[in-house]
Chains A and B, each alone.
Chain A
Amino acid sequence: MIDFTPTHEQSALIDQVRRFVREKIAPLEAELDPDAGELPAEIREPLVAQVRSLGLYGMDIPEEFGGPGLDVTTRCLLAIEMTQHRAGLYSPCYGVFGGAGLAQLYEATEDQKERYLYPTLRGEMHGFFGLSEPSGGSDPARAIQTRAVRDGEDWIINGSKLWISGADRADYGIVFARTGEGRDGITAFIVDTDLPGFQVRRVVHTLRSTHYATELSFDDVRVSDRNRLGAVGHGFAIANDRLSSQRIPYAAQCLGVAIRAHQMAVEYSQIRETFGQPLAARQGIQWMLVDNEMDIRSARLLVLEAAAKADRGEAFRTEAAVAKIAATEAAGRVVDRAIQIHGGLGVSKDLPLERWYRELRIRRIGEGPTEVQKMIIARDLLGKVAA
């Protein structure tokens, strides 16, 4: 039996982050636009300084690169706390805890780390992750049509990418291109965004108001072989590693929002009266709250089980897929019920519920849709029959 009770150290960290969210972040949101995803520099910088003074900046950065080296379980427990505010799902604490850069760069050459990873960890550079294309994103081994052709000491890249976040503000991107056939025919490159032939073609608007995706084009973009990330033909493994390891904290973030929505529903059901009784006195409402509770508890266990397995260094692909499905689907249901309990107020911009409802819908698709996660689980259950 695995014990998921947080350790003393984890509890102390959870408490620090929880207080920071409640005292520093949530009050700001009373003044910001309900769809805001960024803070003005004059507000953000003092908060970053506070986080640094608490020793909590860059919590996701591995120890060998100057971070605290937190395990996946602790990162998940903190992700659950950091997301418990209006912008929390896609902008946890508005980024004042710093990022970890693109994990693929941890495997880069020392020269590449000097030029891209370390400046990124210092907040001096920004990167994007360029995998999905108009032809698809869930099956990169077959869908990638962007081609890289060797030309002396360089590679020439032609093609396009779609649904790419942050490319319009990035200094570089990790771009996956076809250099051969099939799964072993994908290679990763670090592409500077100021190279001739690289263009951000358009903004793609989505359900999220504050963040958008972009479409990119590569027209004879010449990239030095010095910027090849990993071996030729190993790009699929690089992309896949990231996709699997990201899924657990991604699932944990959804839980944070679900927990906050559920708390709001519990509180509102006790103060809102209809026909002479509080909503909480009605069985229909009670059952909704019970369903929320069950959804949250079961998803939390599955997220922590996946995290624990990753921390033990065991294969966790199936557990990560299960956690991703459970948390994203459960959070969607919880917020939906919370909106129903709040009635008209639930769909207004006065409360964060409508924003979470929109943003959680994307979570069932992002980082691999539910159906692709099911394929992963089925493959592990059935082997070649399900492949």
Chain B
Amino acid sequence: MSAVAGRDLRGAWLPLTQDAVEAAPGCPGVYQLADHQGLPFRIGYAGGKSLFGLRGELARLIAENAGREVRFRMEVNMQYISRWKELMMVHRALYGEIPVGNPKSDAEHLGFLGGRHAGVAR
């Protein structure tokens, strides 16, 4: 099954532009932002209090990242908090730390995936 560009976290990245964001659904879900090389630097979610769901969150991020070449992808998901934590844990397992664009406090309640013993990537 092919992933729809930008709407699947396994799929291709889309540029974070007004046009792309306007097509985003107004539902809860998770998103990733990446730099021009496709390196993820932020993982977030549109929760129950987000105005216009993913569309609203991503629109806010356009303003926050003005002047930078930023890409995004997203996933509509009602289990947005546990999915966000999972993505954060996967990122930390792959890169050794949480995304640089997330506040350090996001690591506060985060668990680990994989093994914790020395020699295994977390």
Contacts and interface: CB of A to CB of B under 8 A. Distances in A.
B79 interface: yes
Interface string A25-36: 000000001111
Nearest to B111: A168
Given A203-B82, A211-B82, A212-B85, A196 B115 contact: yes
A196 B81 CA distance: 29
A206 B86 CA distance: 13
Nearest to A39: B109
A199 B117 CA distance: 9
Given A33-B49, A35-B47, A200-B111, A212 B116 contact: no
B5 interface: no
Contacts of B115: 194, 196-200
The interface residues of chain B, by DSSP majority, are classed as: loop
Nearest to B112: A168
A205 B47 CA distance: 16
A208 interface: yes
Interface in A129-172: 166-169
A195 B117 contact: yes
B114 interface: yes
A41 interface: yes
Given A203-B82, A208-B82, A35 B114 contact: no
B113 A34 contact: no
B79 A209 contact: yes
Given A33-B47, A169-B111, A194 B116 contact: yes
B81 A37 contact: yes
A210 interface: yes
A202 interface: yes
B108 interface: yes
Nearest to A166: B111
A40 B108 contact: yes
A370 interface: no
Given A35-B48, A194-B116, A203-B86, A41 B111 contact: no
Contacts of A269: none
Interface string B78-122: 111111011001000000000000000100111111111101100
Nearest to B118: A194
Nearest to B86: A203
Nearest to A217: B115
B92 to A, nearest CB: 11
A129 to B, nearest CB: 15
Contacts of A34: 47-49
Contacts of B47: 33-35
Interface of B: 47-49, 78-83, 85-86, 89, 105, 108-117, 119-120
Given A168-B89, A199-B114, A200-B113, 19 more contacts: A33-B81, A34-B47, A37-B81, A194-B117, A196-B119, A198-B115, A198-B116, A199-B115, A199-B120, A200-B112, A200-B114, A203-B85, A203-B113, A205-B86, A206-B82, A207-B79, A211-B82, A212-B79, A349-B49
13 contacts: A34-B47, A34-B48, A35-B48, A40-B105, A41-B108, A167-B111, A168-B89, A168-B111, A169-B112, A196-B115, A198-B117, A199-B114, A200-B113
